[in-house]
Structure 1
């Protein structure tokens, strides 16, 4: 695993060192805030387009940001697992006392805490958590882009913009848990590249109580720790990462098992409530063939394009020599997404945690003329804004 602790240049003759005291305090603040500003600018475009599409379709912006899974997560945050509103049901219109346990507790717990501390309403607290999580993710992405081989701060900022403008990037601004999960995941990977094993273990553990996608992160961190142990590197620290990393994911699965009376209780809930199970990709292949044959909707065609693009980007990551824990993590996310049955319309959203797929693209763009890179980012931002807005307004099913 190749590790870059620092990056000297964005491009020949362009320094990436923080501004000196001669530049003044304002320049230093701007330098430090750059990841946040990039993230906020891209997401603002997305929200403006969503506002326009909401108005055209007779919807309210605020209501669009708390749809579907967001309702479940906010209800759990406000009422706990045992008092979720009976109006919330699974994909088949059914509900049992165990159904809410299908949703991991990390995001609802943080929303509930934010509501208590700030005194705001539940929706405002949820949107605030998503906003802050996005900013933490942005700074992690910028750091990640400077650590990879050939990377730089410019590459990191471009990576931040590209991830903010992912095809289903609208979810970053919703009361969904992807932003919080990815914030934990990116800092786990940053810590991994810096061989800060304890931090990597804790971030992975936190990710494990937010989303089941933590299994992919756990595989990457666990295997990297095993390699370090076999090579006798960093003394006891890789062992600490290996012990800490699974605490969150395994802990919640054990909790659901104790509540349902089955060691595979969480998986059973997913299968019964959302027809979600691992079938090796058979359902995804059928969906892809059907969509390509009929072209039923913009969203479904777009989803197939995103799925195909993720595989091509993974191959590019391997070919470009990206550190193997990063592409292994992305591969795990892809396998979990494409290999599972369930709601096909959610496939593009479920690929959001595979943000490391965009690292080679960001590094390549960082070596191009700034005007060319900015033009591409602007085009991607607008396309993402429209696609996400369409998914929440003109498309009438869950994403």
Structure 2
């Protein structure tokens, strides 16, 4: 037992050492983003920390952490904004953080996001390193860090927490750790509605794995694969988080299994296949210079689609394709909060893998210069974005 524990500790240390360049690069990019945000906010007489922890969705999470569910706002339009729209894992962690230390719920949410963002960066590295190589893993992490909406990774929002759980669940899938994958998918399902994408990835990989083994039926293998029991257990665990919360909301509201959809409808949020978003983009072309914004949105959507198709052509594992496909579809085809779509795409990190491979082929000096320039531009955009009037 002692030898086994020593081997495991050594393996963890080796994995951390292998990921260290990616994590240090990620921390540097995020530090730059926070510094630029602090300077920009100070120049405008605002608090950067307030923008990160006590505005928009952060307030809803902290309110759930402090008083549980049951708060709602009725707008003059008749819409009802209920806190049941927000999944519970982040508020639970905020409550835990406030209970064990001298932190407010907002402080705890910020701490969770900082730690979760590092865990997410490590998970993204682990996935890309496993599928491709170490250099691609480092580049994937840096690209995720320098996204224009990367500042959200440091906010008291649930994106970093969800991405960390999703990335490590996918890594567990890729390495055959089925129970771990199911447990992490369960937690991801308690974090955001799009947790079903993680569960779908677990199910897809498990089913394909079972089918491959059945077709092969090879009597001699170098190391016998584990039986189907762990895979089935992982599959059973994966959807429990999202399904459990949705069913609980339906029971609490009296709306039945679809009660959560009624809660989302109160926020004027739903899934319409992208019709409302397409109409929103089309309306941009009725005047100038808003037409430039419309053209930019079209280019952005085309880039997302191109990255997904490129991932398919490059042979990304099915679990990654299913996960990023569902996250992308739910983000682009939601019927409201058009300005938040880039943020909703943040967890779809497999979309960045084709770019990571291209960046990894460059000379180290060129890659560093390019990444540094994008990081600075992202930091400036993030500061401008958060100091605006609307929510990210």
Give the TM-score of the pair, scaled to structure 1.
Answer: 0.85
Q: What is the Cα deviation at residue 297 of structure 1? A: 9.4
Q: What is the Cα deviation at residue 204 of structure 1? A: 0.6
Q: Is the 8 A contact 1:145 1:363 kept in 2?
A: no
1:230 aligned onto 2:217: no
Q: Residue 290 of structure 2 aligns to a residue in which SS?
A: coil
Greater shift in the superposed pair: 283-292 or 355-364: 283-292
Distance in 2 (CA, whole Å) between partners of 1:89 and 1:167 is 33
Distance in 2 (CA, whole Å) between partners of 1:254 and 1:347 is 26
Q: Match for residue 59 of structure 2?
A: 71
1:140 to 120, 123, 144: 123
Gaps of 5+ in 2: 1-9, 215-225
Q: Residue 119 of structure 1 aligns to a residue in which SS?
A: coil
Distance in 1 (CA, whole Å) between partners of 2:293 and 2:64 is 29
1:309 to 303, 309, 331: 303
Q: What is the Cα deviation at residue 379 of structure 1? A: 2.0
TM-aligned CA distance change 1:229 to 1:386, over 3 Å = same
1:280 aligned onto 2:273: yes
Cα displacement string for residues 212-236 of structure 1 (whole angstroms, at most 9, x for unaligned residues): 1112222221111122223346422
Give the TM-score of the pair, scaled to structure 2.
Answer: 0.87
Distance in 1 (CA, whole Å) between partners of 2:233 and 2:76 is 40
Q: Match for residue 324 of structure 1?
A: 318
Gaps of 5+ in 1: 1-19
Q: Match for residue 211 of structure 1?
A: 192
Distance in 1 (CA, whole Å) between partners of 2:124 and 2:76 is 34
Distance in 2 (CA, whole Å) between partners of 1:375 and 1:299 is 28
Q: Is the 8 A contact 2:284 2:293 kept in 1?
A: no
1:161 aligned onto 2:111: no
User: Counterparts of 1:88-99 in structure 2 under 5 Å?
Assistant: 95=80, 99=82
Q: What is the Cα deviation at residue 293 of structure 1? A: 4.8
1:365 aligned onto 2:353: no
1:104 to 68, 81, 87: 87
Q: What is the Cα deviation at residue 199 of structure 1? A: 1.1
Q: Match for residue 181 of structure 2?
A: 200
1:382 to 376, 387, 392: 376
Q: Match for residue 218 of structure 2?
A: none
Q: What is the Cα deviation at residue 285 of structure 1? A: 0.9
1:342 aligned onto 2:336: yes
Distance in 2 (CA, whole Å) between partners of 1:108 and 1:62 is 19
TM-aligned CA distance change 1:307 to 1:138, over 3 Å = same
Q: What is the Cα deviation at residue 361 of structure 1? A: 1.3
Q: Is the 8 A contact 2:285 2:291 kept in 1?
A: no
Q: What is the Cα deviation at residue 387 of structure 1? A: 2.0
Q: What is the Cα deviation at residue 36 of structure 1? A: 2.7
Q: What is the Cα deviation at residue 299 of structure 1? A: 7.8
Moved over 4 A (4+): 27-32, 88-96, 297-305
* Structure with a larger share of its residues in helix: 2
Q: Match for residue 221 of structure 2?
A: none
Q: Is the 8 A contact 2:152 2:343 kept in 1?
A: yes
Greater shift in the superposed pair: 59-68 or 49-58: 49-58
Cα displacement string for residues 129-169 of structure 1 (whole angstroms, at most 9, x for unaligned residues): 00010111111111111111xx2212111111111112211
Q: Is the 8 A contact 2:204 2:318 kept in 1?
A: no
Say how many residue pairs are matched.
Answer: 366
1:398 aligned onto 2:391: yes
Q: Is the 8 A contact 1:101 1:256 kept in 2?
A: yes
